[in-house]
Structures are given as C-alpha cells and as structure tokens.
Structure 1
C-alpha cells in the first residue's frame, strides 16, 4: 500500500511523491518498525491517494500515511501533541479510551470547536493509564477515509503481560466510494449493499428459512440476512492498511510468546478473528489487563481492543483471519518464523441468519406457563452452542403474537418514526459468542469470560439506575437513543460527580451496536466482586442488553455513541454530562 500526496511540494522522479505505510505497519521484511514517542509530537492531517489492491482511492492521512503513525508513550508522562490541519474542512483527533480533560477529548461542538483549515491545535495532558488504544477523527466521516492510528502506552512499572515479541494488528474497512455517497445509498434503499439475500435455491435446498418463516419476517419488514449495513460488495477489509491480496506479515518463531495488540478501527464492520492452528490467550480488553483466558476465536466490534498472546508450536506460517461478521469478506495477515513465507487461508464460512432471538422475540428466554420443548443441554463453558437451521431458526414463539412497538415494554422511549421495534423479551447476551459464532464448534470469547486482573478502583453499590434504549428503523436507516436522534436535540443524560450508577443498555434493533462512552471506564456487571471487567466500549447484541456500573468521576460534557460510524452519523449519539455537587 502506498500513499501519493499531490499537496507535497517536493517531487520525486515521475513528478509525484510516494509515502510508504508507517514503519510499524510494514511487513517483517521491512525491518524494525518506526514509531513516534516523546513528550512533544507533531501530527499533520492532509489529503492523499491510498492504493488498495492495485486501485487508488481518496484518503485522509496522518503524517502522510494510512493508518497514521503509531504513538508509543509512557504512563506518567505529560504529552504535548500539536495537530496541524491541512484539509479544506475542520478536523479533530479523539484519543479513544484515554482518560483526559474534557477540553482535550476532541469532539467538535462538544469539548472544543474543532481544528479549522490551516490551524494547529495543541493537545496537552498527562497519561494516567497504560495499554492498547488508538486515535481517530471525530469530524464528519473522515475516519472511514483513513484518519486513524494506534496508540500504545507502556506501564510506568513492570508490564504484567510478558512477551518475547509484539505486533500491532489494526483492522479497518475502506471503500472507493465516498462515505457521504455510502450514507446516501443507505438512506435511499434498505439492503442496498446486501448481496447475500435468501434465494429460491436456498429454500429448495433447505439451507435457510422455510417459506412460512420468510412470510412472517416479510410481514415485519425484517430481513434475516441483514447483518451488516455495508458489506464486502463496497468494502475492502484491511489489516495494517493492506488488502487481503497483499497480506501484512509479522515474525513469530516457534516457542515465542508473541503479543498481538488487536484494534478494530473499522467504520462499520465487526470482525471475527482467529488463527487456525493456534490458541489465543486473551490478556487485555480495551487496554485493561484481564486474567488470561484461552479461546479459539473472538469477536471484536468497532473501537474495541484486545491483547492476545500466541505461541507458535510449529516451524510454519500461520494465517491470521479477520472475517467480517456477515462473512462477505475478510482481512488477512501472516505470522511466520521467517520473512517471505506463505500461509494457507481458509474459505469464508457460511453467512449467518438473524433469528427471533435477535429480534427479542425468542420464547425460550421466558417461561410461558404451558408445555414447551425441552431446552438442549448447555455447552461446556466458553463453547459456542450449536445453532439449528431450517425450521428452528425462528425460535419457539409458542403461538404468541407480539406487538413490534408495545410502549409498555419501554415507557421511556419516544415512539417516533425512528423506532421500528421495541424488544419484548430482553435477554442478557453477554455470555453468548456473537452473531454467526453459535455453531463454529470451538471456544469463542464472551464478555463473561473476562475478569479484571487488577482490583476495581470503586466497588461501591450503585445509588440509582438508568435504562437506555438503542433504537432504530432499519428500513429508513434512522438511529438514536430512546427513540430520538441527535439532530432532534435530545436532553443529555445527567450525572453528578462521583455518583455510582447502574446503567442498562437495551438493544431494540436487529443490529449489534458497539457503544462507546468517552472519558470513563465502566465495569460490566458480572464476574467476581472487585474484579469485574472494565471497558470503554461494549457491544450490545441484537435484542439483548448489557448492564454496567459507572462511576461518574470526570466533570464535563462527554459523548456516548454507537461506534458504527454510519449509525452515529445518522443520529445514534447523545451527550453525557457530569456536574459537580452543588455547594450548600
């Protein structure tokens, strides 16, 4: 992958300057990776042309590359980052997952005005944490065009995660179609990018839903194949800026403990990551160390990060597979003991189907008081259950009719045109592996596997509760919280400084939503007391809920939004305010 930047004044032979991918993202054959470190750094935001798979597309670059330079910093230091804007529009940088003063959080119109064309803005803050993070634009739809990069903060003391070697694995999705055109098409026609719909052949072969099920789903204006809004028909899935046909390669020798820092910087894609032939030991989530847990695969949603330890057992190349959740494509990489080795990549697996459980209408989630089919025995801990196909894919409705928009199920939701449905049976799905991974036959990471390594900093009981509904209309591509989009000027969610609140996120849609809260970490309400997993981004599965405890400790105005960028752009964004206690 190369970047050509016509705005640079210095020219090479041929008349165009070519900038390579940043050193950290180059193949192992390129030698040691370069990175930026120190207390005083300069970042330049500009236009460029990104070459992906032999084609050139318009990109937004950081210091001339996509992804941008890796920032390697140290816990306890104070950093000064001067960001120059050479675009013809405003830009910004949000330091994703970092606990910084609100004025440096980087959300235009909320925490600061934004960085005007030709201007330089200086971010200056202390680093009070360590771990794997990233940074990206929070202006318009610049992030999908390449405005993102990794950020690693080394601990002030000994690192609890021991490794012989490490690599950053940054996943993303890129389209040669401009993001605003993609957005227009999503609004104009539902399923515009879905080339994996059910067919007559699938019906005759018994591969998908039965005819009766298709009729019922059609009545509800729901498509069980609508897993991703934008698919591989428009996206090329990248790993460290490289297309699948030119995979990134990293060294990993037999017996080494290799640390992989996985970052999902995709605009609209959830990935399922695995390395066939190797176990994945999860040692950190969202930059926070967890008790090691061994799995075969994990689902990583937009804006999440995971640190893994892998230990090659054979002198061969291993395929790193990051499959899009809808199975319409994959990002690829190679881990090998020597440069230049090739790996064998598996084919895409069968695309998943939505179920009545994804719609919050699975009667097996509640007791109806009448005879029901016996539930299958539970799988071993961490093992994905086998998902039936064909006539069982709808779930057991018990002959019960349900309203798609019953206000009694969510009194706080405003029933606007942006609310297509309200989940009638809310299920905690944090113990499930994620859409499409129910029948893979091996162990898949779930949120319930995560246990914080360090004690939680605040173990007080919450003093109040707050329920927030994630709402949308998939047919019209309208998204919001509690029935309102951000354009409708909804009131903020208010908190008092220092208070402890139990928050429940309820997903009333058939799409998974990775929800990110700026300025804070929160503890998922499961696991041993005092060691509940801490995250800044959490995926709420379709028809499901996630419960977390939040200590509102950072005074200011903060963003909370879906990190599916096109969902956020369409309105799934809300302000969270934290105010000091009023003095007597």
Structure 2
C-alpha cells in the first residue's frame, strides 16, 4: 500500500507452504498525526503468519526499500543461515532483491517477526506468528485474539538516540519536584540528597517515554479502540506479544483474572494472576473467561507510567471499555542499585541486618566491615568490578551486591493490592528433555554509562568484543547474567531456548528472552544444540544499537572459551 491510506488497519492472515512478504515504505496516521513507517505488506503490524508444527515453509521476503532490510523470526528454531541477522547469519536483503527463508517448523506457540536492520523495527517492520501444535492444545479455548503491543513515534529513532546521547534524561518529564516533596509524594529529602550525591535519578525508569511515544495495541491507539469480540462464558485466549522498541508494559484486564498458559511460546502449568509485566520481545498467552455481556478493558501501561493503551474485549462491535487512570509513577530503590543489604552475600564481612550509608563521597571505597550497623558501598566504586569487566568510559556503575530477583515483583508492581506474575511462578508443563547438570559456568555482566548512553556486555560494546562467546555443540552451560545498571534488560538468545533456574527443578520454564531486573542477576541452563553463529543481545533497541550485543558461536568438537 503506497497511497495515503493509514497502514494501521487490520492485517490479513498468511499461511501455507509459501508465504510472501514485501517490505516497503507506508504512510501511517497515529494519534491524529501522519508519519512514515517501514512495513510488511503495507500494514503495521504486518500480517499474521499462521503455521503448523511439522510443516515446511518458505518465507519469501522482497525488499522494495532503497536500503538493505532483513526479517528475523523471533523465537523460531531455524538453521542459522535463515535466522535473519545481517553480518552474522546472512548478508541481508539488498534493495530490489528477494530472499527465501526455508526451514521446517519445529515448534508450536506464539512468536513474532521483525527487522534486524538499522532501526526498521522501531519504524514498524514487525508482525505476529502463531504456530498451531501438531496434536491437541494442552489448554483448550473457544476463541483467540493476538494482542501485539508496540510504541510509535513520528520522530525518527536515530533522532531519539541523538537526544539521549546529548542528555540521558531527555525524555523523562517525571522527575521529582519540590512540590512533590512538600506533598509527600516523592522520596524524603535525605534520600533525594543521597541520590543526588551519587549523580543518579530514581525516576530514570525508561529511556524514551510517553512524551515521545504513542502506545499501540495491534497498531491502534486508545482512541482507535481495537476491539476483540467474545461471547459470555467463552474461554478466550489472548496471545500477548511485546513488539516495542523501548517499552516494557504492565498488562491487566481490570476485574478479570488471567490464566497464564504459555511464556515465550512454551507451555507452562496454568497459573492465575491479575497482572503481569511483559518485557520487550517476550510473549505470554493467557486465557480469560468473561462472564457478563459487558466490555472489558485490556490495559497496557508503560513501565514508567508515562502513558498507556486501552483496547476492548466486547460482546458486540462498537462497545468501548472504561479507560483507567495512570497510576503513580514508580521510584527506583536501593534494591535496584544492587545495594539491598537484606539480600547481600556478605561473605566474611560479618555484616548482618546492616543499613546503607550514603553519606560518604561517591568515590569512597567499600569499608569491608560494618560501622555502627552501616556499610559504605558505592555503585561507582570500580574496585568492585569482576576481572572480566573492561573498565573504561562505558562502565559508570557496578552493583555491589546483586541478587537473584526472579521471585521479585517487577518494577512498579511491588505494592499493588492484587496478584502479580513473577518468573518464580512459572513451571514448564513438560520437563526439559535435557536434564544434565551443567559442566561449565559463565558469568556475563550487563554494563552501562547511562549518562553518556553507552551499553555493553562486560564493559564493552560489540565492536570491542570481536571474539564470540563460544560453546561446544551439545554442551550444557549455566549462564549467569548480572545487571550492573539501573534499568531492566530483556536479554534474547537467537536459535535456542534455555531453562530459567527459578526453583522449579526439572520443570524449569523454557524461554528465549529473560528480563534481568536492575541490580539483579538471572541464571539459566543452556544446551548449545544449534550449530552456527547466533545473536545474543538486549532487546531494548537503542541499548542493542549502542553496544549491548554479543555473538554466540556453537561449533562441533571445539574447545569453548
């Protein structure tokens, strides 16, 4: 569609053994403003691709742009040469060229596709994938809807990045104020002064906020009111996909419980909740059972509460669910700085039940022992860094005492008065086929200089880490991700699933993306089963683009390093 019609109309469904996508430029109208999008088959999001487990498929992608493009099949287990990452698994698709992705469909569940070229993903090149199982569904349902969440700005993503490079808090209009202090809405003055001495901002939750973005559900803003129909009493499956460039969402249907049945396309034991946080690139499938012939709101609220999108589940077209108000914006805590003393492993320091002394200069070294029940520890003390971290301008903070936060309610949902899903709640419906103990351990630190907008693994960006992370084919490795920054990072591994070490034992949930909370760490067990070179990166687009990206290589018969 190259005319002036908006592209955020309902996309079609593509299925069969050969599917064609044309990548091109399309004008869009969002929130009353015209903009320019890069789309698949002229719509944003692109058409739903519906496949069946066990079939073979050829996805033929034609590039009508004046620049290279690509499509990555997010979460699909494919041969590496069809994974769709330029410079790693293939050269990309040149202008005027067509590339055929051919592979067997080896799984079922909810997935999605997006560009891995430049900033095209942020400009609209994304779409959903649903793969029906070869056998019966473990959790039957009567009706389904795909709910694809995204963020949209008419400002080019390179301009958004330039602004962040100039000032890290450029888009944050929710900073603490004197009025907030006097009204008791913000932190006490002593805490605010302490944060100021450390040159940190507890309201720095999201890099790009609702001041720049309009939040969308299936390409529709709140006023456009995307609507999915139901009949009272039906079991309705909602397939949530967070296809945003920069936004984590808190999802709820006020007054209607959700039963989570899949995470990242993998079946889990059903768990009932009232709200969940879906990180960028994750998917969650839930079943809801609306009993009354009344509209129900689907609320996707941005992590920093700078905006939300409302869609409607309704018994008939034309109904509009009530719009809920934005909740109070969250504030970061010592726990988000990796300084929560209750969770600290103090080793031989003899510290028990201590508190944090923020009165010392920000470059003071850790004291190594308690002083009147207090300990001086600083995120800016680089003597705390692990030997593997490359210390330089890309590392501004080190979490002094990062802890496993898989059982934590995610940022902003710590105090809500209803049930909230955590990673600790997830149990695989069927145990993993590989139950071997890991034979090797690998630690990776997520690092940043947020003021200069520099992101990386172990203190280095991709161009400074030319050697890949190497695995032997078939080896079992425990990977620990340690977040030394004060922002969450959804880390995605291409070509594989891994098992989260969340206390579920043999029923550890399998995921392809895991959100590492600020000041936290995540452990997962990986079987390096897929030969080839694979991308491994943060799915916050501008974090990835500025350096939080590594290459994983899996080779037969070689020593790993």
In which range does the TM-score fall when normalised by the shorter chain? over 0.9
Within 5 A, what are the aligned runs for 1:49-198?
Answer: 49-198=27-176
Deviations 1:447-488 (A, max 9, x none): 010000012110000001000000001100000000001132
**1:550 paired residue number:** 526
- Offset at 1:48? 0.9
SS for the counterpart of 1:290 is strand
- Offset at 1:397? 11
1:267 lines up with 2:245 in the alignment: yes
More divergent stretch after superposition (204-213 vs 453-462): 204-213
User: 2: CA distance between counterparts of 1:60 and 1:338?
Assistant: 33
User: 1: CA distance between counterparts of 2:210 and 2:158?
Assistant: 18
**Structure 1 length normalisation: TM-score?**
0.90
| 2:225 and 2:320 in contact (8 A); partners too | no
SS for the counterpart of 1:103 is helix
1:401 lines up with 2:376 in the alignment: yes
1:325 lines up with 2:322 in the alignment: no
| 2:298 and 2:310 in contact (8 A); partners too | yes
- Offset at 1:370? 5.7
SS for the counterpart of 1:143 is coil
What value does the CA root-mean-square deviation take over the aligned residues? 1.7
**1:309 paired residue number:** 287
Cα–Cα, structure 1 residues 288 and 120, in superposed 2: closer, same or farther, change >3 Å? same
List runs of 5+ in structure 2 lacking aligned partners. Answer: 356-370
- Offset at 1:528? 3.2
Within 5 A, what are the aligned runs for 1:310-389?
Answer: 310-366=288-344, 369=350, 372=353
| 2:6 and 2:27 in contact (8 A); partners too | no
**1:385 paired residue number:** none
Deviations 1:219-256 (A, max 9, x none): 21110000000000000000000011111000122111
User: 2: CA distance between counterparts of 1:289 and 1:303?
Assistant: 17
Within 5 A, what are the aligned runs for 1:473-512?
Answer: 473-512=449-488
| 1:361 and 1:397 in contact (8 A); partners too | no
**1:31 paired residue number:** none
Aligned partner (choices 427, 431, 456) of residue 455 of structure 1: 431
Deviations 1:329-374 (A, max 9, x none): 0011000111111211210000000111100112122367467489
Aligned partner (choices 281, 290, 298) of residue 259 of structure 2: 281
Deviations 1:99-120 (A, max 9, x none): 0000000000000000000100
SS for the counterpart of 2:14 is coil
List runs of 5+ in structure 1 lacking aligned partners. Answer: 7-15, 25-33, 375-395
User: 2: CA distance between counterparts of 1:490 and 1:197?
Assistant: 39
1:5 lines up with 2:27 in the alignment: no
**1:217 paired residue number:** 195
Aligned partner (choices 381, 385, 390) of residue 414 of structure 1: 390
SS for the counterpart of 2:455 is strand
| 2:39 and 2:45 in contact (8 A); partners too | yes
- Offset at 1:210? 1.7
Deviations 1:369-396 (A, max 9, x none): 467489xxxxxxxxxxxxxxxxxxxxx9
User: 2: CA distance between counterparts of 1:131 and 1:527?
Assistant: 24
User: 2: CA distance between counterparts of 1:69 and 1:309?
Assistant: 23
User: 2: CA distance between counterparts of 1:279 and 1:173?
Assistant: 25
User: 1: CA distance between counterparts of 2:29 and 2:137?
Assistant: 37
User: 2: CA distance between counterparts of 1:371 and 1:518?
Assistant: 42
SS for the counterpart of 2:507 is coil
| 2:53 and 2:106 in contact (8 A); partners too | yes
User: 2: CA distance between counterparts of 1:433 and 1:126?
Assistant: 38
User: 2: CA distance between counterparts of 1:112 and 1:22?
Assistant: 32
**1:564 paired residue number:** 540
User: 2: CA distance between counterparts of 1:41 and 1:528?
Assistant: 39
| 2:7 and 2:26 in contact (8 A); partners too | no
SS for the counterpart of 1:145 is coil
Deviations 1:173-218 (A, max 9, x none): 0001011100100101120000000000011122111222122111
User: 2: CA distance between counterparts of 1:474 and 1:407?
Assistant: 19
| 1:500 and 1:552 in contact (8 A); partners too | yes
SS for the counterpart of 1:538 is strand
**1:382 paired residue number:** none
User: 2: CA distance between counterparts of 1:85 and 1:38?
Assistant: 21
SS for the counterpart of 2:99 is strand
User: 2: CA distance between counterparts of 1:117 and 1:557?
Assistant: 25
SS for the counterpart of 2:424 is helix
User: 2: CA distance between counterparts of 1:277 and 1:185?
Assistant: 40
SS for the counterpart of 1:438 is coil
Aligned partner (choices 208, 229, 241) of residue 207 of structure 2: 229
Deviations 1:495-553 (A, max 9, x none): 00000000000000000000000000000012333211000000000000000000001
